[in-house]
A and B are shown apart, each in its own frame.
Chain A
Amino acid sequence: MVLQQHQKADLELTAMRPITRPGEYYWVIVAGLSVLVFAAAVAYLQQLKEGLGVTGLNQRVSWGFYIGDMVFFIGISYGGAMTSAILRLTNAPWRAPLSRIAETMAVTSVLVGAVFPLIDMGRPERMVYLFRYGQVGSPVLWDVIAVNTYLIAGAIFLYLPLIPDIAVCRDRLGPNTGKLRYLLYERLALGWRGTDRQKRVLAWGTTVVAIVIIPLAVAVHSVLAFLFGVTSRPGWDSTIFAPYFVLGAMFSGVATVIIAVAGFRWAYHLEEYITRKHFEYLGYIMMTLGAGYGYFMFSEYMTEGYKLHEGARDMMELMIVGRLAPFMWLFGIGGLVVPILLVALPITRNIFGITTAALAVLAAMWLKRFLIVVPGLAEPMMPTPLVIYWPSRVEIMITLGAVAAIPLLMMLFFRLFPIISIFEIEEVAEEDAKRTAEALHQAVP
């Protein structure tokens, strides 16, 4: 069915409501999130001034929250690429109302994640040396290249389907929105007016970028894993790390998409477009990925735990029965078993249940990143005792600031651009109509 005129107007109204009438709590939430980001900035200034000694890091556990955060935030951005690109390529029509939120989340979280290596650096002012003296043999350089490429590809992937929507903004909001803003819309819309040729070239470009972005995201999470995998530390020295990280990124990413979708659905009243069906589909994907992640964990612990080589033995004792066992079991039960059950059992398979499961997955996946980074360093390779790491106030504040920065950036983005992809919904509806017409044509010769 083609969208009727009133449906279309309704859709445009809904999609652009955050731009026009963000609601009375909008600024309260923006201010609240900004305070957290501000606090993180203050904490970072202190770290900049006094050195990394203000963190809880020490000579052995020289990576902590920051590296865990980097992996986590870049990881969840894969959820955006996943729901949008994969579902686009597999022609899943239900993705259309979600894709904008997912893509925005992908770009903002990778932006936030990419800041963490800088925060973690002892000498951030020498960042430019990465380009001047870059040594291709280093996983850090791979990360720099891969994350930057991914960031740009993600931005393109966000921008392309946005062009027709920007044109809608341009046409509907008109020059009265303010000179600067209108200019922004006008320029970014590139003179879109929905001709066939424009639609064709846009569809081609979006498909190509969607094809490129999937292996690119795999590459990003693989080289992030190599950051650990190239060392010989027990717990890190693993061949399964790259796919492990990719799957973990997808798992946490889908959970983030569910949370973002739920949040914006509630805040901007998108109930008409985003329904329980969407949550169920996303929940099924999350459940499958969770099962896959559990399988990878099993595979790792099975092979390592069977042989129990000295390093792996100490590591597994630490993780399964030792001091970090409570965290590990918390992850296993709270992050894998419970969410899967919440989605699998029909009684909890509703929007609330699935969102709860996603929240549990997200928290547990963050914990898992911590459990990957810290024990690998805490477990000694020389005859010394285990070294404890506990984050300092500065690290916690910066992490909280980063968590706040993602919804903040998304809210600011949706102040400028439609939250639902008007174009994609129309496109899907048109395709739908075409298919119906063809079916009718075949049925009634």
Chain B
Amino acid sequence: MALSRREVLQALGAAALFLVTGEAGRALMRRGGRGGTTASATDSADGHETTERQWAAVIDLRRCDGCRYCTEACQSTHYLPKEMEWIKVYEVEAENGNQFFMPRLCMQCENPPCLKVCPVAATYKNSEGVILVNQDRCIGCRLCMAACPYEARYFNFRKPPQPPDGFQQPMPEFPVPQRLGTVGKCVLCVHYIKEGRLPACVEACRMDAIYIADLNTRVMTNRSGETYEMSRYLRENDAFRLKEEMNTSPRVWYVAGHGQRLKGERWS
């Protein structure tokens, strides 16, 4: 054991600290409260879960380098064929000629055009504001794909890849495997968030450009734990939403930084 004197002292200090403030520290740890991850919150005795989460996302375009690891992670998590890019990285040229990359996941609109046109209510918004598809009900008419202004919906034209055994219980929150002849889309990995994990794309973003957020507690965080108060972050960074004029109220904000036009104009 090659420990320096400093480290031994530090360890001692930490121990002393724990003894002195142990009770307060434990109280702090226990206090899942509104803040606890779902698993720990339900475990905690005093978990006063009063409201649901309202998931959202923030994407910092200044950081995105177009590596498409997010797409790969999403596809391997959800066993998607190559053509289904639930998170798609667009290569965009800004007005000033700058090239930049723009990942597009499902905008989780608050007024989703896709939801309104579904004839069998297979697309629905769950209580946490995430738009999901019940692939046991979807009849595959594909009107939602035409209605989505963000082109975020994908159809299983071919037999989707099959995951190994043990995955055979698809549900709207974790639609693996996909169903032939139905529509699939980004589910914001609600199943992961509930387990205390981050969405696959957030976890895979090596540039830390994708943030996952909760609109109720206004907390946004990325893979490496950079965590901000959301409303303040959006305001200070001039965040914008895509196609705001369409009255869809998307829940994905973008932070520009390559000379993009700011409001939600169409990209060409």
Are A and B associated in one complex?
yes
Task: List residues of A whose CB falls within 8 A of some B CB.
Answer: 50-53, 55, 57-60, 62-63, 117, 120-124, 126-127, 129-130, 132-135, 137-141, 144, 227-228, 230-233, 236, 310-311, 314, 376-377, 380-384
CB of B192, distance to nearest CB on chain A (Å): 24
Is B102's CB under 8 angstroms from A231's CB?
no
Q: Which of B51-59, B116-124, B215-223 contacts A (4 or more CB under 8 A)?
A: B116-124
Q: Main secondary structure on chain B at its contact with chain A?
A: loop
B88-145 contacts to A, CB under 8 A, are: 88, 90-93, 102, 104, 113, 116-122, 137-143, 145
Contacts of A139 in B (CB 8 A): 117, 143
Is A126's CB under 8 angstroms from B104's CB?
no
Is B146's CB under 8 angstroms from A134's CB?
no
In the complex where A52-B181, A122-B156 touch, is A138 in contact with B143 (Cβ < 8 A)?
A: yes
In the complex where A139-B143, A310-B268 touch, is A60 in contact with B120 (Cβ < 8 A)?
A: no
Count contacts on B: residues with CB < 8 A to the other chain.
Answer: 45
Is A126's CB under 8 angstroms from B137's CB?
yes
Is A231's CB under 8 angstroms from B113's CB?
yes
The yes or no answer to B265 lying at the interface (CB within 8 A) is: yes
In the complex where A135-B121, A231-B147, A232-B246 touch, is A310 in contact with B116 (Cβ < 8 A)?
A: no
Contacts of B92 in A (CB 8 A): 383
Contacts of B183 in A (CB 8 A): 122
Report the Cα distance A132→B140, complex, angstroms.
16
Is B117's CB under 8 angstroms from A134's CB?
no
| Cross-chain contact of B155 among A50, A122, A135, A144 (Cβ < 8 A) | A122
In chain A, what residue has the closest Cβ to B117? Answer: A138
Is B182's CB under 8 angstroms from A123's CB?
yes
Report the Cα distance A52→B84, complex, angstroms.
15
In chain B, what residue has the closest Cβ to A310? Answer: B266
Q: Can you show 28 pairs from A to B with CB atoms below 8 A apart?
A: A50-B158, A51-B156, A52-B140, A55-B157, A63-B142, A121-B140, A122-B141, A122-B142, A122-B155, A122-B156, A123-B181, A124-B139, A126-B120, A139-B117, A140-B119, A140-B143, A227-B143, A228-B146, A231-B147, A232-B113, A232-B147, A310-B266, A314-B268, A380-B151, A381-B149, A381-B266, A382-B104, A383-B267
Mask of B145-179 contacts with A, CB within 8 angstroms, 1/0: 11101110011111100000000000000000000
Report the Cα distance A164→B246, complex, angstroms.
57
